[in-house]
Structure 1
């Protein structure tokens, strides 16, 4: 025999509301916990179910003296539904207003972009201007060799390269001198190594 299925949260809420609607009385939590099992709601879950109803304004609570009482009338549910309806109606109105604003913005953006002879001519002129700009830019680049600033930069680059070449030539001569002094018995091997590296007797400083 299969076990009886427990109530869902929504079913528990409905059953606990029935307690209030049937008696239309005021209850302490401990009283509700005793009455819950009669409606199929175990006492351990009554507190959470009641709190969810309070959160949704379906059950009201108030502290009287040192005790907290809970109550609910059918009108509470009606009021809650009316409040929900008003909120949804307000949201719908806001959505419609926002839609109208977006539609107006869309139409505004479309204005001036309608297909016309004037628009086509303007686009062609823009395209021609862009092509001319590119042509002039390329032509300007071809004259860079005659640009004083470009010539000065090139001159500076040559000087830097000249200095670097002589510096590395000096480094090579220093290294050769060190190898000859340190490994005098390996003269032939060193000369062979120099040739493989492209270092010949013609190597000299740039004037």
Structure 2
């Protein structure tokens, strides 16, 4: 049977336990010698695991002179967790307050809508106006197909196209492709 390796989370836990058991500061070289023997973490992984603990704020590092010293105390970890808990509780209270404010605004807005005859009449007028607008939009679409400015723009394109074909000996399909002109431009209504 082959041995299974230790997971990254397990390595982190073991290294953090080592700090909490020794209750002192350590150099990296010292950790690379003692941790593999006592906690079963391979020497090459100690530095990476240590850096991940430092990044997460579970181990403190301080540069003194030319050496880096690492330490972690159970009380510091507990204080960090308590501070995080307080921050999360404050955030939750803020969100609950904002939620309550929004709920009261919703209730206020719903209370302001009284279903009386005047409101019904205004809703009816709104529906009629929307229907009339839809009808006008349909008519406008029909007229836009015969828009004089659109027809003039098409004439200008064809004039420019024939000028380039005659003057510069350019193929019509190549001209259309280069200027992104659809082949069926003359059949567009």
Classify the TM-score, shorter chain.
0.5 to 0.7
**C-alpha contact (below 8 Å) 1:57/1:76 kept by paired residues:** no
Counterparts of 1:67 and 1:16, CA distance in 2: 20
**C-alpha contact (below 8 Å) 1:60/1:70 kept by paired residues:** yes
State the match for 1:72 in structure 2: 72
Counterparts of 2:116 and 2:85, CA distance in 1: 49
Greater radius of gyration (CA): 1
Query: Gaps spanning 5+ residues in structure 1: where?
Result: 138-156, 158-207
- TM-score, normalised to structure 1, is 0.56
Query: Gaps spanning 5+ residues in structure 2: where?
Result: 137-147, 149-189
1:164-187: CA deviations, max 9, x gaps?
xxxxxxxxxxxxxxxxxxxxxxxx
Q: Specify the SS of the correspondent of 1:81.
A: helix
State the match for 2:157 in structure 1: none
State the match for 1:8 in structure 2: 7
Counterparts of 1:65 and 1:44, CA distance in 2: 25
Give 1:1-207 correspondences, 5 Å limit: 1=1, 3-38=2-37, 39-127=39-127, 130=129
Counterparts of 1:131 and 1:4, CA distance in 2: 74
Q: Which runs of 4+ in 1 moved over 4 A?
A: 125-128, 131-134
**Deviation of 1:51 (Å):** 1.4
RMSD: 2.6
**Deviation of 1:104 (Å):** 3.1
Counterparts of 1:132 and 1:20, CA distance in 2: 75
- Number of residue pairs matched by the alignment: 134
Q: Specify the SS of the correspondent of 2:4.
A: coil
**Deviation of 1:125 (Å):** 4.3
Counterparts of 1:85 and 1:131, CA distance in 2: 53
- TM-score, normalised to structure 2, is 0.61
